[in-house]
Chain A
Amino acid sequence: MVAPDLGPQNLAIEVKDLVKTYPGSIAAVRGVSFSIPRGSVYGLLGPNGAGKTTTFGMITTRVIPTSGTVLINGINVVAKPAQAKSFLGVVPQSNTLDRSPSVRENLTFHGRYFGMTSKEARTKADQLLVQFRLQERAAAPVGALSGGMAQRLMVARAVMHSPTILVLDEPTTGLDPQSRLALWEILRELNAAGQTILLSTHYMDEADELCEKIAIMDHGQVLALDTPAALKRSYAKQARISLDLQGADPGLAEMLAEALPGTTIGFVGSQLTISTDDPTDLLPMLVKELVAMDIGYRNLSVRQGSLESVFLALTGRDLRE
C-alpha cells in the first residue's frame, strides 16, 4: 500500500459545518464542526436521536453529507471515499461480525481487505487475539462469543489495519458492567500507544472517564465542546450537598439559609439539598449548625458539578429523558 502523505498538519480528522437532511424529514445533523488532533480521545455525548450516528455515518463514508466537509488525514471523505476508508477503523453500534468465518479469520480477512499480506495478517491477528484476550476462542465461530467478547473482537478488527483514527459508535451500550470496564481498559491502552479515538456515548461516566474532550450534542448540533473539567467549570459550577434529616422541622430550611449565605436550599420530605459554589468551607459550617440545633442527620453526600448537570444546563433536560 502507498504510504499516506500526512502533510504538515497534525489533525487526524476535521469536520466542518456538517449538515445532513434526509429527504422528507427534519435535519438529522445541523452544522457540526470539530477537529481532533492525533493521539487524542474525543467523545460525542448526547441522547438517542441527537445526530451522533448520522455524524459517524458521514465521517465513515456511509452517509453523504447534504453540505459541509469531513477531512481524514486531509483527505475529503466524499471525494475520495476509498482512500479515506483506508485510514478509518470503525466499530458500529450493532454486531457486524462476519458469521461464516472463525474469530481469527474475521481478523485475517479484514487485514487482507486492507492490503496486508497473508503472513502479516496472521501475525497481527495472533497478536491482537492475545492483546484482546480472545486467543482461546480463535477457532470458534463468532456466534459462540459473549456480548463482551464480540465487542472486543469488533474493536480488534477495527484496529487490525492500524487505522489513523478509531471510530466507535456507542461501544458499551448493552454490555454488562464488567465487559464495559474491560473495554474501557482496552481503549485506554490503545490510546496510550498513540491511537486517536472518536467515540459516541450516552453514558456520562464513560465520556468523563475516557475522553480528553467532549462534544455535547443535541438535536443535530454541538452545544459545547471542551474538556470534561472545563465543561463542568463553565456549565455546572455548583456542587450539591444532600442529607437526610429525619423528623426535622420544615422551618429549618429558612434558619439554615440565614446561617449559610450564598446558598440555595431545598427541603422536600426529609431530604435537604444545598447548592453552593464552594462546598469546602460550607460543610463544616453546616455540620456545626446542625449540631448546635441538636438535629441528627444521615446519608450526607456531596456531588461536585457533573456532566449530567452540564447537559441539563445546556439543553434544559435530563439525558435520560
Chain B
Amino acid sequence: MSLATATRSHYTQTIWSLVVRDIRVLVSRWVMFLVRVISQPILIVFVLAYVFPKIGQGIGGNAAAEAKFSTLLVAGVVGISIITQGIQAVALPLVQEFSFTREIEDRVLAPVPIWGVATAKIISGALQALIAALVVFIVSIFIPATTVHLSVNWPLVLTIIPIAAVLSGALGLAIGTIVPPTQVAFIFAIILLPMTFLGAVYYPWTSLGTIPWLKWAVLINPLIYINEGLRAALTTGIPHMNLYGVYGGLIGFFLLLVFIGIRGFKNRVIS
C-alpha cells in the first residue's frame, strides 16, 4: 500500500468515525429525534389535508381538488423535513459546539484535515435527513382525509432524495458556521420560515406564473429544487419545474453551500 493510499484510507476511517459518533448520539436520543422530525410535517398535513377538508374548508373546493392538494403536499412536507434536518442536526449543534461548549475542539484535533471534520458533519446531517424523509413520507400518505395518489419514478427518487439530503447537510454546515451563538433566533426568522413558506411546499412552483417577480425571486431558495424534484419523482399530473432546472439547482446549491460551509468551518476553528 502506498503512503498516499494509506493516508486516504486513514482519512476515510477517521471521517467515518466522526459520523458514527453523531449517529450514536442520534440513536441514544431516537425518541427526541422522531418527535423533532415529524412534528412539523404532521401538523402541516393534519391541518391542511385532514382538518381543512373535514370542516368544509378544503383547499381546491371539491373532492378531486382536495385529493390533488394532499398529493402535492406529500412532496412538500418530505422536502421540508429534509431541509429542516440540515438545520436541526447540523447547524444548531454546531452553533453550540463552536461557542458555549467548545466540544468541537476534540474532533478538530482528529488526524484529518479540517475539511474532513466538516465533511463528516455534512454526511451525518445527510443521513439524518434521509431517515427523516422516509419517516415523513410514510406519515404524509396516511394522515390526509382524502386518498393520496402517488406514482413513484424510482430513478428520480433515488437521485433527488440523496442529493437533497447532502444539500441539507451542507446548508446546515454553512448556517452553523455563519450564525453567531447570540443570533440563533435569526436562523428561524430569516432562514427557516421564509424557506419553508416560500419553498413550493403548498403549491407547485410553476403555479407562481401569475406573480412573475415572486416566481423568479424564490429561485434563491434551495428548497424549491428539492420540492419540485420530489413532485416530479412522486406524482404525475402535477406540473413541476423542468428536470434540468431541478438537478442544476440542487447540484449548484450543494456545491456553493459546501464551499461556504467548509470555508466558514475553517475560519471558525483556525486563526
Contact = CB atoms under 8 A, between A and B. Distances in A.
Given A88-B109, A114-B111, A97 B24 contact: no
Interface residues of B, number: 32
B221 to A, nearest CB: 32
Interface string A68-98: 0000000000000111011010101011111
Nearest to B20: A112
Given A109-B21, A115-B13, A115-B14, A96 B111 contact: no
B14 to A, nearest CB: 5
A175 interface: no
A64 to B, nearest CB: 6
A113 B110 contact: yes
Interface residues of A, number: 33
Contacts of B105: 92, 96
B210 to A, nearest CB: 48
B183 interface: no
Interface stretch (B3-11, B83-91, B222-230): B3-11
Give the secondary structure class of B's interface: helix
Interface string A110-132: 10111100000000000000000
Contacts of A98: 21, 103, 106
Contact of B6 (A2, A90, A99): A2
A62 B103 contact: no
B227 to A, nearest CB: 32
B24 A105 contact: yes
A57 interface: yes
A239 B6 CA distance: 59
A113 B106 CA distance: 10
B111 A85 contact: yes
A97 B103 contact: yes
B254 to A, nearest CB: 25
A157 interface: yes
Contacts of B104: 96
Given A96-B101, A157-B106, A113 B6 contact: no
A100 interface: yes
A100 B104 CA distance: 12
A86 B269 CA distance: 18
Given A85-B109, A97-B103, A113 B25 contact: no
A101 B270 CA distance: 25
B263 to A, nearest CB: 15
Interface in B112-149: 112-114, 116
Contacts of B6: 2
Interface in B6-37: 6-7, 10-11, 13-14, 17-18, 20-21, 24-25, 28
Contact of B271 (A64, A82, A85, A109): A64
Contacts of B113: 81-82
A241 B40 CA distance: 76
13 contacts: A2-B7, A62-B108, A82-B111, A82-B116, A85-B111, A95-B102, A96-B105, A97-B103, A99-B101, A100-B28, A113-B14, A113-B106, A113-B110
